[in-house]
Amino acid sequence: MAVYTKVPKNALAAMLSNYELGLLVDMVEILEGVENSNYLIHTEMGPYILTLYEKRVQSEDLPFFIGLMKHAALKGIPCPLPFPM
């Protein structure tokens, strides 16, 4: 199992209300993976991946990970385009 942090649906819905992503429709835990908690979420605006970086990732390293994902997505590599929250 690769979901280490459980996110209650009502808590995620409340968090998403701060962004222009529409209302939360559904959320599914992504069980694959080894380090982070990931969820496939569906809002009125479409599907998104929510990644929660766990304890082994230092907060000062997050800009690197987000920048790498953004760079890859913009270069056409099939991966999610980050939307930092």
Q: What is the DSSP string of 27-38?
A: EEEE---SSSEE
- Whether the pLDDT of residue 1 is over 70: the answer is no
> Domain segments of the chain: what residues?
9-74
Q: Quick one: what percent of the chain has pLDDT higher than 90? A: 55
Mean pLDDT on 33-55: 89
Q: How far apart are CA 2 and CA 21, in angstroms?
A: 25
| Mean pLDDT of the region 54-82 | 89
Nearest to 33, CA basis, from 16, 50, 46, 48 = 50
State the pLDDT confidence band at 52, using cuts at 50, 70 and 90.
confident
What is the pTM for the complete model shown?
0.80
Phi-psi region of 50 (alpha: psi -120 to 50; beta: other; left: phi over 0): beta
Residue 58 one-letter amino acid: Q
Please compute the mean of the pLDDT values over residues 65-77 and round it to a whole number.
Answer: 93
Q: Which SS3 state, helix, strand or coil, does residue 10 take?
A: helix
The CATH number assigned to the domain with range 9-74 reads: 3.30.200.20
Average the pLDDT over 40-64 and give the result: 89
